[in-house]
Structure 1
Amino acid sequence: MAVFVAMCFARTVYAVDPNRAISQYMRESWGLERGFTGGAVTSIAQGPNGYLWIGTEKGLVRFDGLSFQVFQQQTPTALPIGPVQELIADSQSNLWILLANTTILRYRDGKFDPGHSQAAVGITSIGRRRDGSALLSSLALGPLGYQAGKFDVLTAPSTPGRSDSPQAAVMNDELSSRLSWATGVATHRFAKPNTSVAAIAETSDGIIWLGTPDRGLFYLKDGQVHDVAQAVEGRINCLLPMANGELWIGTDKGVLRWTGSRITREGVPSELSKVSALSAIRDRDGNLWIGTSHGLLRSNAGGVSFDDDGTVASDLAVNSVFEDREGDIWLGTPRGIERLRDSTFVSYAVDEELRSTSGGPVYIDAGGRTWFAPFNGGLHWLKDGKIESVTAGGLDRDVVYSITGSHDELWAGRQRGGLTRLRVARGGFETKTYTHADGLLQDSVYAVHQNRDGSVWAGTLSGGVSELRDGKFTSYTMANGMPSNTVTAMAEGADGSMWFATPVGLTQLLHGQLRTYTETDGLPSPDIDCLLEDSSHVLWVGTTSGLAYFNAGTIHIPRNVPESLHEQIFGVAEDTNGWLWVATSNHVLRVRRDRLLSGAIAEEDVREYGTSDGLSGVEGVKRQQSVVEDPLGRIWFSMNHGLSVVDPIRAVRGAAPVLAKIDAVSVDGDLIDIKTAVRVPSVSQRITFGFSGVNLSLPERIRYKYRLDGFDRGWSEPVGVREAIYTNLDPGSYTFRVIAENCDGVWNMDGPSLNLTVVPTFYQTNWFLLLCAAAVGVLAWVVYQWHVGQVTSRMDLQFIERLSERTRIARELHDTLLQSFQGLILHFQTARDLIPRDPSKAEKSLDTALQSADEAMVEGRNAIYDIRSSTLIDDDLAHMITALGEELGAKIEEGARPGFSVVEEGTAKPLDPIFRDDVYHIVREALRNSFKHSEAQKIEAEITYGKRLLRVRIRDDGKGIDRKVLEEGERAGHWGLPGMRERAKRIGAHLAVWSEAGAGTEVELYVSGSLIYESASPQLLSRFFRRSGARDKGL
């Protein structure tokens, strides 16, 4: 019967499993439909950085596992490379490319060596020596070696046809056209072989072998070329060195063997005698892989395996066979490349004869049979790649829910047929079935378990659980303590306990007592699907809401576990390495048991598997034994799409470390050269580092961490993208580093690095910063000096203001009050003198003196009123003027009192207190004159708040001011007008007076807003100097 096996990930230091047929490897191909445009493949090699190099009929191609890069030319100005005949990678990190025109190229450190770019020296074949160095065959010079940067002609100078050859010497690395076979050494001069060489190799005894297309086989020993006496029929296509100096020879007429003394077919499998062998390799486990004109075959101790299910009837030639460093086998065909690789899992899907590919219970007996029962019914076993079915006891017509057993005995729980025992007898099986009639609680047996003492437990679908011991059943149901009559799984504890999984909890039977654990005891869900007691006697419980375990009398839920372990758990098994293998509703995973118990789970402690790992599906099945360990330590999974098996020993063998590399750097979208020192201007907004990791087995699982030393404090979070972006880096030196992780979670800490310098602009240089610091210092000093000067100036201003005010007061007292008192004294003196002579005149003089005294008192009161501090004056100028007018009007008799009003235009603004006081004093003087002297009927004060100035007008309709007074600017013996002008001049204001006799008087005062408005004057220095200058002039 056909068995389908899918495979996945190849392991690094191991070849593919030689115990599998070729059809059991995972095979993946790349052709036109997957981006490979190279045409027919002629040769395959792997470079030191992990890339796969592919020689084709169209040129040279490089593959990183995800994408192909075609090398059309060696340099932008060179001719096309053209068809490639052979490729080898030597032990000195050189990739040698043999073109169909006999030109040899060398690729190293990311570029083609110009010393070899035009070296047409008649090279017809290349290979590797025992030490891994390059071996070449030249039409002009014969066999050549390459060591330490030099070519060596391996034939001795005395070789016929070579003694006069100027090239028969050690040559430097500069192969050039002067060594061309067409410039003096023709092919007819060669003694042996006098034809081109199609294959060249060195055996373990140091002999170099030359295989020709039509002249047979030659060998080079002690500097001399000899032919093999025995003729070789057909074209020699490939040579394969073996152990002990043996050589296998692949020809158009089959595979031959050189024993050390002769050519023979003895020791060569008969299946290889008639194939047309085009290529051959020996992998690291000693398996022979031979590419033929009709497919691939493998030869080892187990025989010959063919590519096409036991035949070689294939129309696809294998021109090249290659084993990469991860152990995968690569094939070059006329359609592209193919890969064979090992997988973690081998998956079996039963064919249509068995009616179902859906899994069910699985069990492996002591004889190596794998028993399984698909959902759709029947019982089958698999052994040595063959599947057999059981028909005895009606098992082929019933659904088997559960399978268990020991030694040569098998027990099956059936959907309708009860509990059946199978024993091997006379090449067949004997069956014994127990049903309800025999004491079984129910004929639908969902779970079966056989204890160490041989007793058998049968958990039914809805009837409870029965124990069969010595032919008799003992039953446990809800009537005697079971929480449910449905039993889905069972396990035996080391202490003799029996554990039953039910939809409503976990039940323990110990010493005849039943105890049930539910969610209140710590279970994530009471609905349980599977049980396992591990080697440390910890009971693992798989529920519909995740995994739990019972240890030391308590149920625990593992901490810090991946989300997949919170899914429905269908099966758990333990391997000999201490790992738990778990099948959930949507995942298959492996997790370290001890880390689950401790709760300290790291990234490398969990590994999830999928179809790329060889699984045919990742959906588990609800059966008691869907994940089990076999006697060989392998873990079997019954999945929704068939059976899968994994060898834990091979599964934990580390995959090849990923070789990370930095591919490119772009600055604001423009690529820059990273082969030289990387310097970028600091004005760059976006720097992008492009990187990649080469791992041919499973490149889509590669993850990266990166960091930029000088900027990042640590490694980035693992990412799958292949670029890192940094923006607005400060000037300085940086180092970009990247590391890569393989599919096993192993990080290759030996990652590449790239130094980067962000060059500062002139304003980011140290000298500019020092200059700026000096400038800031000077500016701070200037600001400080200005501040000190301003404080000093304000103090001076206050002093000057006080001094000016005192001077004014003194002058007013002298010019008004003191003069009044002086006049009063004169009146009194006159009266004293008149009393003796003329008492009536003396009386009049006394009356005049008393009147002068009253006037002197008024003038004194007014002077004191002028001294009042501005802090005692209302901030609202209009309100202050209104109050002043009311006060002045109250001194006049009711009938003679003029009407007074204040008009305010514009929006009132806060005023500087000092300027406001001066304005107020000027207005007060004008109003006092109007009220006292104008004899007006109406007096009006108008305040206008403009954007650029404050204007105040005082108007009356009185008798006016004498023209002479206006012209002279003052009235004799009075200081009102001069005082007003002095105040106006001191604050930088403009004062104008208009008056006509009998037409009233108008006084206008306006002040610049930049001086008087508090909020409108940010130019403090200008304001200060203007103010102080004005006041200085006022002195």
Structure 2
Amino acid sequence: MKFFSCWIAAVTCLLMLAASPPAFSSTPSTLSTATTSAALADLYAHRAWTAAQGAPTQIQAITQTLDGWLWISTPTGLYRFDGVRFERHDAINGNALRSSIVLPLHTAPDGTLWVGYRFGGSSAFLGNRVRHYGAEQGFPPGATHSFTVSPDGVTWVTTAGGLAWLDSRQDRWVRVGIEAGFAPAATIYQVLFDRAGTQWISSARKVYYRRKGEARFQVASPADIELTSLAAAPDGTVWVSNGSDAHYRLSTAKATTTRPPKPELPGSGMWFDRQGAMWLMSETHVERVAPGDLGQVGDPRQQLAYDRGLSGMNPQTFYEDRDGTIWVGTVAGLDQFRPNRVAPLPPAARNLPAIVTPALAAADQGQGQGLVWVSDDARSWLTGRDGVRHGPAGPAFWSSARGRDGRLWLGGWGGIWRAGDAQRTMIAAPMFEGRADARVNALTEDADGVLWAAFLNQPLQRRDPASGRWDAPYPGLPPARIMALLADSKNRLWVGYQGGRLALIDNGAVRLVETGNGEGIGNVLAIVERSGQLWVAGERGVARLVETARGTQAAALRLAALRLADGLELRGVSGLTTSANGDLWLRTHAGVVRIGADQVQAFVRNGAAAPVHAELLGSEDGVGGNVQPTGPFPAIVAASDGVLWVSGTGGAMLVNPDAIGRDTMPPAVDIRSVSSDGKARALGSPLTLPSGTNNVHIAFTAQSLAAPQRARFRYRLQGFDDSWQDAGDRREAFYTNLPPGAYRFQVIAANRDGVWNTAGATIELVIPPTFVQSLLFKALCALVLLAVVVLAWRWRLAQVARLIEARHMERLHERERIARALHDTFLQEAQGTVLMMHTAMAQIPPSLPARAAMERGIGYIEQAMIEGRDEVMGLRSSARADEPLEAALHRYGERLAAGLPPGFRMQVRGTPRQLAPLVKDEVFAIGREAICNAFRHAEATEIELDLEYTSGGLTMLVSDNGKGMPADAMQRGESGHWGLVGMRERADSIGATLDVGNREGGGASLRLTLPRQHGAH
């Protein structure tokens, strides 16, 4: 059992390792600029995941598919990794695995993902398709150990029971056996093709080889020992491991001795990366051996053990992804070794410590290509990027300046000297307080060969080249400490101060420029002129000096602050330089910031109108330590070969702008899960969520293995918010109170180099409405609301009608009171007066003129009494409130017909309806007047009244067979008790129309039409 467990945990995992990785193109690395003496921790950023971080354990094999996802096989299942989370998968693109116990993984050049199973068989996944292979397809029996694609594109497989290759035309596996000289009679582990095209096959007891073009296999040396995984070195050497503690160099020569062979290297597994470095595994650690240093195995600086950060014991599985990142699987987790983009300057000797916060100054071209002066607190050396120091050490320097002749000045304690002079001549510092050992904080030389220097806590000093004397020609300058000096291309002198002030000396005139200590760049740390642009760097940022011409006056000066996009800030900018292609490089507290030449040009062109995009190289890229602003020296310089040297508390570091590998492939984006109201939903597009869903949580990711913290996401939910939401590095989106409807969620992502996958991933979401959210419910609510409005309107109408009726009854009562009052007072008094006048008139002889006058007066009074009675009768003749209209009109007409000659006939058609009291009274008054006029003036024998109720309203027709109406009476109306004018006014008041005219057969007619909406209920 113990042997079986070890075989599973070690040997099988090694076999999975041996499968060749996908043939991704290799990009040059900054590491190639350093020597092999740099420690593993300096060359690679290491990170480990264990079960505590969700990582799987007992990792068998690792591969990367063409879309960038990392796939990991374990005894507990297949996992996918995006740099942040491990996700177990029982299916790939909807196609289920045949077993959860998977062993080898391999990505073929065409993108096919091969998966082998512990209990035999394999599956090939490509896109949305899958092909399963078993015994019926000729697949060899036993546990599957490895897949390999030969240079000619043929897929090979090794299992516990055989070796086979895939005949793609027949889609069948062809077994290799005794006919090819291959009869191991043991477990077969791995197939390897070396650089010469020779095929090597390892088995439990021996290794077979077959040269390119040959048909039969031969046995390599050594033999008759346990041999498992194979590795091909860049020099063509093929190595084999026993899977435990030894590596052997394979040979095609026959073994000449029967004694056990002596292993040449220790370790349980071997791998060569694309840079040619060897990676060795042992039970306790991982070790990297640089190309050409195979004899230096055992260097502890190149090792990482489990007790110093490795995820676990028994590192068994190696894989190099397309970005050059090394992945190691152990029994307890997963380890990542990511090449740093910034490499430390290798020390001249392994026992020589790095210089803390070194001063840097690029050497003259004549002193050597790519050399830089490096200084600590005591000495300085001319150094190459290989760490080798050239020539004798010089004094320590704190400042430097390029002279007009191109040679370098260095300044330190007590004076200034030419860099690299064989006979060093010191220009002594002036005397301050009786001492001549002041430190040169800043230094520059103008076009006239005049040296300007800022000594520690002293005024600006000028050295006359003729007399060699120092003086302070500008006592009016600010008394603050001088931090930076620059003589620009126009031979103007710029002075930067502590406290955020900037002084310009031009032809002897001094001008002060405020940098904005509160909101500007703060304490000035560097002044640099590049490509005609003047840059000022400080504690709080960087600004470009902008000069605006003013005719004959001095140009106006202002600082245009450089603002960065993507949430980056510029703090503590202690160095600024440019590379050959125009990129702007800054040394900040956060690391090294690169601003592309196109962004710099846009900044200059637009006058700082918009923020610029930048790239940050930070601690995860190998920038070690911080910047201590203890010295005025620039913290970043460009050597003559284009390599950038960076100063830090951990020593000097190197950045090769031309050798930084960029990830140009957009990251694959995937929607991981969708949940609503706290419950996970099965993914599908469209995905229908439950009715009444109140909140939606969508988790997404993108493959960003190298630097997942730098991945950037944007998402939007079309149908709710069509604008893009910037999520930064957050990998989830939340929505609350979504109304029902159809939505389309889209997420896009960018990798650490800003390459966006604009297609991203999408999912359709549908939220059905609940009953109360449905159109039916809304229609019902609208109908209910309409019914309520109608009922309220009718209630209000009835209320108004009752009010009108009450007021009308009040008016009727008032009219009856007035009628009684007129009858009881005016008419009675007038009647008594007439009687007295008749008595008096009887006593006047008829012959007297007074009698005639009396008779006329009595006639006038009697006429007035008649008219008064008519008015009183008009006041009292309205229909009773409880009497229907047709009954009131019929009663009135019958009463007149009883005392006057014409006959009266009335007809009612339709179903009588109750009218509003006021409307009823006005219609009765109009009908009464029409009937009365017909009886009085028509000279008719028959008078008819036709009252018709219809759905549209009420029609009242009064007609006679009399003499008709004169034309002028129809036009102007005829004076009378009411008259036509009064009837029309009454009709208008209730919204009715009145038509008056003569009939064709003789007689007159009056038609009143009352619409239903105006009171004809």
TM-score, reference length from structure 1: 0.64
Assess, with a 3 A threshold, how the Cα gap between structure 1 residues 765 and 409 changes in structure 2: closer, same or farther: closer
Could you tell me how far apart the structure 2 residues matched to 1:599 and 1:236 are? 68
Q: Which residue of 1 aligns with 2:524?
A: 528
Is the 1:392–1:430 contact (alpha carbons within 8 Å) kept by the matching residues of 2? no
Assess, with a 3 A threshold, how the Cα gap between structure 1 residues 288 and 35 changes in structure 2: closer, same or farther: same
Assess, with a 3 A threshold, how the Cα gap between structure 1 residues 821 and 304 changes in structure 2: closer, same or farther: farther
Assess, with a 3 A threshold, how the Cα gap between structure 1 residues 141 and 377 changes in structure 2: closer, same or farther: closer
Deviates more, 1:608-617 or 1:124-133: 124-133
Q: Which residue of 1 aligns with 2:174?
A: 154
Is the 1:382–1:388 contact (alpha carbons within 8 Å) kept by the matching residues of 2? yes
Query: CA shift at 1:576, angstroms?
Result: 1.8
Residue pairs, 1:580-979, within 5 angstroms: 580-584=584-588, 588-591=592-595, 592-597=599-604, 598-599=606-607, 605-621=613-629, 622-651=631-660, 653-654=662-663, 656-675=665-684, 677-761=686-770, 775=783, 797=805, 801=809, 804-805=812-813, 808-809=816-817, 812=820, 816=824, 820=828, 824=832
Q: Which residue of 2 aligns with 1:250?
A: 240
Query: CA shift at 1:239, angstroms?
Result: 3.4
Q: Which residue of 2 aligns with 1:956?
A: none
Q: 1:14 aligns with which of 19, 23, 27?
A: 27
Q: Which residue of 2 aligns with 1:346?
A: 343
Q: Which amino acid aligns with 2:648?
A: M
Query: CA shift at 1:446, angstroms?
Result: 1.7
Q: 1:556 aligns with which of 551, 555, 558?
A: 558
Assess, with a 3 A threshold, how the Cα gap between structure 1 residues 784 and 656 changes in structure 2: closer, same or farther: same
* Superimposed CA distance per residue, residues 69-100 of structure 1 (whole angstroms, 9 cap, x where no aligned partner): 45699999999945x54322334555444455
Q: 2:205 aligns with which of 211, 214, 239?
A: 214
Deviates more, 1:552-561 or 1:320-329: 552-561
Q: Which amino acid aligns with 1:736?
A: F
Equivalent position SS for 2:420: strand
Query: CA shift at 1:706, angstroms?
Result: 0.3
Could you tell me how far apart the structure 1 residues matched to 2:478 and 2:822 are? 120
Assess, with a 3 A threshold, how the Cα gap between structure 1 residues 141 and 220 changes in structure 2: closer, same or farther: farther
The root-mean-square deviation of aligned C-alpha atoms, in Å, is 5.9
Is the 2:345–2:387 contact (alpha carbons within 8 Å) kept by the matching residues of 1? no
Equivalent position SS for 2:725: coil
Is the 1:681–1:761 contact (alpha carbons within 8 Å) kept by the matching residues of 2? no
Q: Which amino acid aligns with 2:271?
A: A
Q: Which residue of 1 aligns with 2:416?
A: 419
Assess, with a 3 A threshold, how the Cα gap between structure 1 residues 263 and 452 changes in structure 2: closer, same or farther: farther
Is the 1:488–1:624 contact (alpha carbons within 8 Å) kept by the matching residues of 2? no
Assess, with a 3 A threshold, how the Cα gap between structure 1 residues 594 and 306 changes in structure 2: closer, same or farther: farther
Is the 2:58–2:75 contact (alpha carbons within 8 Å) kept by the matching residues of 1? yes
Percent of aligned positions with the same letter in both sequences?
A: 20
Residue pairs, 1:236-635, within 5 angstroms: 236-240=227-231, 248-252=238-242, 254=247, 256=249, 273-276=264-267, 278-283=269-274, 289=279, 291=281, 295-298=286-289, 300=291, 308-309=299-300, 318-347=315-344, 358-365=356-363, 366-367=367-368, 368-374=370-376, 377-380=378-381, 382-383=383-384, 385-386=386-387, 395=395, 400-404=397-401, 411-415=409-413, 417-421=414-418, 423=420, 425=422, 432=426, 434-436=428-430, 443-449=438-444, 456-466=451-461, 472-478=467-473, 483-484=478-479, 487-503=482-498, 505-509=501-505, 513-519=508-514, 524=520, 528-534=524-530, 536-544=531-539, 546-552=541-547, 553-559=555-561, 561-562=563-564, 567-584=571-588, 588-591=592-595, 592-597=599-604, 598-599=606-607, 605-621=613-629, 622-635=631-644
Equivalent position SS for 1:658: coil
Assess, with a 3 A threshold, how the Cα gap between structure 1 residues 377 and 476 changes in structure 2: closer, same or farther: same
Query: CA shift at 1:707, angstroms?
Result: 0.8
Q: Which residue of 1 aligns with 2:165?
A: 144
Query: CA shift at 1:318, angstroms?
Result: 4.3
Q: Which amino acid aligns with 2:725?
A: S
Could you tell me how far apart the structure 2 residues matched to 1:465 and 1:272 are? 70
Could you tell me how far apart the structure 2 residues matched to 1:483 and 1:804 are? 104
Q: Which residue of 1 aligns with 2:974?
A: none
Equivalent position SS for 2:721: coil
Q: Which residue of 2 aligns with 1:1015?
A: none
Query: CA shift at 1:63, angstroms?
Result: 2.9
Q: Which amino acid aligns with 1:446?
A: N
Assess, with a 3 A threshold, how the Cα gap between structure 1 residues 400 and 300 changes in structure 2: closer, same or farther: closer
Could you tell me how far apart the structure 1 residues matched to 2:612 and 2:147 are? 41
Deviates more, 1:557-566 or 1:134-143: 557-566
Query: CA shift at 1:52, angstroms?
Result: 2.5
Assess, with a 3 A threshold, how the Cα gap between structure 1 residues 789 and 558 changes in structure 2: closer, same or farther: same
Assess, with a 3 A threshold, how the Cα gap between structure 1 residues 555 and 785 changes in structure 2: closer, same or farther: closer
Deviates more, 1:695-704 or 1:365-374: 365-374
Q: Which residue of 2 aligns with 1:926?
A: none
Q: Which amino acid aligns with 1:122?
A: G
Q: Which amino acid aligns with 2:575?
A: G
Q: Does 1:193 align with 2:184?
A: yes
Could you tell me how far apart the structure 2 residues matched to 1:131 and 1:76 are? 29
Is the 2:343–2:622 contact (alpha carbons within 8 Å) kept by the matching residues of 1? yes
Assess, with a 3 A threshold, how the Cα gap between structure 1 residues 571 and 739 changes in structure 2: closer, same or farther: same
Is the 2:73–2:79 contact (alpha carbons within 8 Å) kept by the matching residues of 1? yes
Could you tell me how far apart the structure 1 residues matched to 2:378 and 2:706 are? 38
Is the 2:415–2:438 contact (alpha carbons within 8 Å) kept by the matching residues of 1? yes
Is the 2:544–2:561 contact (alpha carbons within 8 Å) kept by the matching residues of 1? no
Could you tell me how far apart the structure 2 residues matched to 1:699 and 1:141 are? 41
Is the 1:456–1:468 contact (alpha carbons within 8 Å) kept by the matching residues of 2? yes
Query: CA shift at 1:819, angstroms?
Result: 8.3
Q: Which amino acid aligns with 2:70?
A: L
Is the 2:319–2:326 contact (alpha carbons within 8 Å) kept by the matching residues of 1? yes
Could you tell me how far apart the structure 1 residues matched to 2:153 and 2:464 are? 68
* Superimposed CA distance per residue, residues 353-410 of structure 1 (whole angstroms, 9 cap, x where no aligned partner): 9899641521132434443334x554455445547699977x4xxx642245689976
Q: Paired residues, what number?
A: 801
Q: 1:44 aligns with which of 59, 62, 74?
A: 62
Could you tell me how far apart the structure 1 residues matched to 2:407 and 2:814 are? 129
Unaligned runs of 5+ in 2: 1-23, 257-261, 307-312, 548-554, 844-864, 877-917, 919-1014
Could you tell me how far apart the structure 1 residues matched to 2:278 and 2:353 are? 38
Q: Which amino acid aligns with 1:346?
A: A
Equivalent position SS for 1:494: coil
Assess, with a 3 A threshold, how the Cα gap between structure 1 residues 604 and 380 changes in structure 2: closer, same or farther: same
Equivalent position SS for 1:594: helix
Unaligned runs of 5+ in 1: 1-10, 163-189, 266-270, 836-856, 869-913, 915-1027
Q: Which amino acid aligns with 1:371?
A: W
